[in-house]
Amino acid sequence: MHQALDDFPALPPKTVANTDTHLAKLKARRKLWLDVHLYLGLIVGAVLVVVGLTGSFAVFFVELQEVLNPELAVVARPPENQQQLRSLDDIVAAAESVKPQGSRFVKVFYPRKPDIAYKFVYFVRDENLANNGDGYYIFVDPYTAKVNGLQLYYPKDRYWGRPLVGFIMQLHWCLLLGKTGAILNGIFAAFSIISVLTGLIVWWPLTGKFKQALTFKRHASAVRFNFDLHKTVGFYSVIVLLPVLFSGVYFNLPEQVNVLVKLFSSTDRPNAFSTVPAAIHSGPPQAGRQPISASEVEDIVQERYPAGKLWMLNAPKDREDVYTVMKKDVSEISRFTGYRDFAVDQYSGEILKVYDRGTGSVGDVFLDWQWPLHSGHAFGWTGRMLVFLSGLACPVLYVTGVIRWLQKRRAKQAINTEKRASGTPTSADASFRP
C-alpha cells in the first residue's frame, strides 16, 4: 500500500538548513575548480589543440607514409607461388650501396604487409660533412633487393625540409622546438591532465541528475547546445584522454616519470624507448673475428623464438654495442602488449637478454603499457580509432570552452550594464566599497 506524500513528515528546518549550507559549500568549491579549469584550459588548451590534432594523424603515421609516398614504400607483390623473399643480408647490401656519404645504418623496419618495402634508417655521422646529423630513409624491395628510393626525413637543423609525416610527428612531439619543446610539451601535458580532471569535477552534477549531465537537451538554444557539446565530449573522451596524456608526459619526461614510478615499485626498464640496459655489451672481439651479419642475427632469433612477427632490428652503434631485435604480436606474452625484445652479441650471436614487455615488476608493466595505450595498439583498430577521436576532441573542447567563456563574459557585462543604469551596485564596484 502506498502512502500519500502528505502523510510523510516534513524535514525539520534544521535539516533543510544543513542541506542548504552543504550545497552552498559544494557550489563555492565548484566555483574554485571552475576557475582552475578555465585558466588552465585557456593557456594549455591551445597547445593541446595542436598536439591532439597531430596525434590523431600520428596514430596512422605508418599508413600515411605509404599513402603519401607509394613510389617508395609500396612494392609490386609477386604471384603466390613466386613470393621468394631475399635474405636480409641482400636487403642490407642494397641499402648500403646507395647510403649517403658519411652515413651509418641505424635500424631497419620489416615490411608490415607483403606489398610493403623494408624501411632503413641511416644517420650521417661525420663531423667533416655539412649534413652531419641528418637522417634518411632507404626503401628496399623485399623480393628483388632493389632500392625503391631514398628520402631525407630528418634535416638536423630545420623542420621545413622534411616530409609531411615527419613534420607532423615532430610538431606532435616537440612543437618544432627540439629538446626544449619536448620538455615544454611534457609539462603542458601534465597541466592538461589537471585541466581534464578539474573539468570532470566541474561536470559532476551536484543535484544527482546524471542523465541530464550525460546527454544533450532536445530543441535547445545555440548557447545550450554549445554547453552540452563541451560537457558531453569532455566526459566521454576523458577515459581515453587521461592515459594518452600521461603517456605523453612519460615519453617527453621519462626520467621524471621514472622517479615517480620508483616511489611505488622497482623498475628494470632503462627508459621510455629502450628495454636493453646500458650495462649489456657485446663481448670483446677476438683477433680477426668480424661481427656476424644481420641475417645470422635474424636466424638465431627466429630459431630459438619463432613466435611473433619481426618488426624492427637495431644495428650496433659501436664495437661494444649489441644487435637489438624486436618482435610484436607475441600472443604467448599478451594480446595487448605482445612485444618481445632481444639483445644479441654482435660477435658470438649469443642472446644476452630477452625482454618480454608487460612482464616483470609492477613498475615495468606500468611503463610497458604506455606505448600501446598512447598509440592505441593495445586494443587493435578499436584502440587506434579511440585515440584518433580523442585527438579530434581536443579542438572541440577548446573551441566550445572559449565560446562558453565569452558567452558568460557577455552575459555578466550585460547584467552589470543594467545594474549601473538602475543605480544598483555591480560586481565590478565591490572592490571600491569602503
Q: 15 falls in which pLDDT band (50, 70, 90)?
A: low
Q: 5 falls in which pLDDT band (50, 70, 90)?
A: very low
User: Quick one: pLDDT at residue 61?
Assistant: 93
Q: Are 419 and 248 in contact (CB under 8 A)?
A: no
**Residue 271 belongs to a domain:** no
**Residue 397 belongs to a domain:** no
Q: Last residue of a domain, which of 299, 332, 356?
A: 356
User: Quick one: pLDDT at residue 208?
Assistant: 79
- Give how far the C-alpha of residue 187 lies from the chain's centroid of Cα atoms, to the nearest Å: 14
Q: Are 206 and 26 in contact (CB under 8 A)?
A: yes
- In the sheet that holds 309-314, the strands lie side by side as 147-154, 135-140, 118-124, 103-109, 309-314, 323-328, 340-344, 351-356
Task: Give the mean pLDDT of 360-366.
Answer: 93
- Higher confidence at residue 6 or residue 203? 203
**Residue 24 belongs to a domain:** no
Range of the domain at 110: 70-162
Task: Give the mean pLDDT of 11-26.
Answer: 60
- What percent of the chain has a predicted confidence (pLDDT) above 90? 69
Query: Which amino acid is it at 260?
Result: L
**Residue 158 belongs to a domain:** yes
pTM for the predicted model, two decimal places: 0.86
- What percent of the chain has a predicted confidence (pLDDT) above 70? 92
E strand residue ranges, 47-177: 103-109, 118-124, 135-140, 147-154
| Domain containing residue 87: CATH number | 3.10.450
User: Quick one: pLDDT at residue 101?
Assistant: 96
For the stretch 286-322, pLDDT in tens is: 767 789 999 999 999 999 999 999 999 999 999 999 9
User: Total structural domains in the chain?
Assistant: 2
**Residue 55 belongs to a domain:** no
Is residue 268's pLDDT more than 60? Answer: yes
User: Quick one: pLDDT at residue 419?
Assistant: 75
Is residue 335's pLDDT more than 90? Answer: no
**Residue 179 belongs to a domain:** no
Closest CA relative to residue 145, chosen from 192, 112, 100, 97: 97
- Using a 10 angstrom Cβ sphere, with 0-12 exposed, 13-18 middle and 19 or more buried, the burial of residue 304 is exposed
Q: Last residue of a domain, which of 327, 356, 385?
A: 356
Q: Last residue of a domain, which of 128, 162, 196?
A: 162
For the stretch 67-84, pLDDT in tens is: 999 999 999 998 877 779
Backbone torsions φ then ψ of 34, nearest 5 degrees: -65, -40
**Residue 301 belongs to a domain:** yes
**Residue 346 belongs to a domain:** yes
DSSP β-bridge partners for residue 327: 310, 340
User: Quick one: pLDDT at residue 285?
Assistant: 78
Q: 426 falls in which pLDDT band (50, 70, 90)?
A: low
